Chain A
Amino acid sequence: MISFITSRWTKYNFVFEELVKRDFKRRYKRTFLGMGWSMLGPLLHLLVMVLVFTHFFGQDIPHFVIHVFAGLKVYSFFSESTNQGMTSLMSNSSIMTKVKVPKYLFLLSQNVASLINFGFMLIVFFIFAAIDGVSFHWRFILLLYPILTITLFNIGVGLVLSALFVFFKDIQYLYGIFTMLVMWLSAIFYSVDTFSLTVQRLFLLNPVFSHIHYFRLIVLHGVIPAWHIQLACALSAIIALAVGTFFYKRYNYRFIYYM
């Protein structure tokens, strides 16, 4: 397995780097603010949510801005990554029908471009946290773990969606509705603390929520998440990757017939 990955890496690292560069540049091509948009979008979203929920609905969650920000940034990473991943094969169809190249590279490069984006958001997040008086400590290092698992989760979901999207274009609209549902079920602008313990456990079945929860526990409460949260993150990544790889392996040679 390891030797398989390293041999693939030496063979494809150049093309992969070039694809990541392209996907990253493509997002901000010829816009006035360029990269600024990737920050501004979620920040405005954050502003609206905080305004709405502090002024129209009374809420007493401490560090509310950071609470929402943690949720929003994990959710938008998930939604951006999987939405871009879904179209990654089709949008490169003109290359795939002319040049022989492994198709999964297009999906991976799209995901890495989203991950870089997420990295920038994370910096802004920490700046906000510092301003809001959150105390930093060594446990922040542990955040690398949910970042890794959600990235793998996104890749897995992207593998399934991109394969489906080749065959059924309608999946795009269905998935749009689905991600909206996920957003409401991810406790981004509310807290699950008021629910019963059983309901709280049920929330962990939503991988987006379990990752958000992980972030909040570390950043806002300074505690290391319990084993069942660690497990929820790991399992979501493993299951999504397994299903995604199965789909990809089974259908990838057929894609070209539908492009």
Chain B
Amino acid sequence: MTIRLENIGICYIVGDYRNLGLKDYVIQKLRGQYKAKEFWAVEDVSFELNPGDFLGIVGNNGAGKSTLLKAISGIMTPTKGTMEIGGQIAALLELGAGFDGEMTVKENTFLRGALMGYTRSFINDAYPDIIRFAELEDFQDRPFKQLSSGMRTRLAFSIACLVRPDILILDEVLSVGDGSFKAKSEARMKEIISGGATTIFVSHSISQTRSLCNKALWLDKGKQIAFGDAKDVIDMYETFLKDKKKL
């Protein structure tokens, strides 16, 4: 197994000092009126994945899909439950975010590579390949903010997918960029997936999930409704959606 989640829960606290400010917080605390509400974005999710599995997560907006991905990628610590992750993760969440606009493309590539846990010598060797793959050879010394959004995504994708990750996490993206890059990125992703990586994929497209995934997880308002073979779970989910439409 590469991934095992047991009773994972992620709880946000709403209505607390986030929207209060220091003064109101202190006053409410003194008067004993301070109340924070809990909001469980993800509750009691348990599943196990083996190398090579392709998991599709389905569910309505706000079902907790993206939050769960953040926990699996290690960005967020779950409020409760245990989690075992075996292997290096490449998470393609909101590609193109978190770069520094003033720094050059080259500097940003090194920074992002470093943040993702690559070593300096690795990035030194891989840098030409990354730039070539992103098709940004002529933009290496330009400030990042001058790049178009397509170019930004291309760069982020190239950095994230240059290595062969053991676990690939995709949020609504199976291919990035446009035209020729779309085909190239899709081919690269398929190569990683068929190379034995465990993939977790969130999508609103049921047909895409059905054709790609062998396992599926259905979340609704943070709760796990079903987990199992993709076909069974998606059939259930589709029936649920049809019933909902009738109402």
Contact = CB atoms under 8 A, between A and B. Distances in A.
Interface in B81-96: 89, 91, 93-94
18 contacts: A15-B114, A18-B111, A18-B114, A22-B100, A22-B103, A25-B103, A94-B97, A95-B98, A96-B75, A98-B93, A99-B116, A167-B17, A168-B22, A170-B22, A170-B23, A253-B77, A256-B75, A257-B12
A116 interface: no
Interface of B is mostly: loop
A246 to B, nearest CB: 18
A229 interface: no
A258 interface: yes
Contacts of B114: 14-15, 17-19
Q: Is the interface of A mostly helix, strand, loop or mixed?
A: helix
B96 to A, nearest CB: 10
A258 B107 contact: no
B145 to A, nearest CB: 11
A59 interface: no
Interface string A78-110: 000000000000000011111111000000000
Interface residues of B, number: 35
B224 interface: no
Interface in A106-164: none
B28 interface: no
Contact of B110 (A18, A257, A258): A18
Interface in B15-44: 17-18, 21-23, 25
B120 A14 contact: yes
A8 interface: no
Contacts of B195: none
A95 B18 contact: no
A258 B18 contact: yes
Nearest to A164: B22
B97 A167 contact: no
A18 B110 CA distance: 7
B62 interface: no
Interface string B97-134: 11010110001001110111111100100000000000
B102 A25 contact: yes
B13 interface: yes
Interface residues of A, number: 29
Given A26-B102, A170-B21, A19 B111 contact: yes
Given A21-B107, A257-B12, A258-B18, A99 B115 contact: yes
B21 to A, nearest CB: 6
A98 B111 CA distance: 14
**Interface core residue of A97, A167, A174, A257 (most chain B CB under 10 Å):** A257
Given A14-B119, A99-B115, A101-B115, A256 B76 contact: yes
A45 interface: no
Nearest to A101: B115
A11 B73 CA distance: 18
Contacts of B12: 257
Nearest to A30: B102
A98 B97 contact: yes
Given A167-B17, A167-B18, A257-B13, A100 B75 contact: yes
B150 interface: no
Given A18-B110, A22-B111, A253-B77, 15 more contacts: A15-B114, A18-B107, A19-B111, A22-B103, A22-B107, A95-B98, A95-B115, A98-B75, A99-B115, A168-B21, A168-B22, A170-B22, A256-B75, A256-B77, A257-B13
Given A14-B119, A19-B111, A257-B13, A169 B21 contact: yes
B118 to A, nearest CB: 8
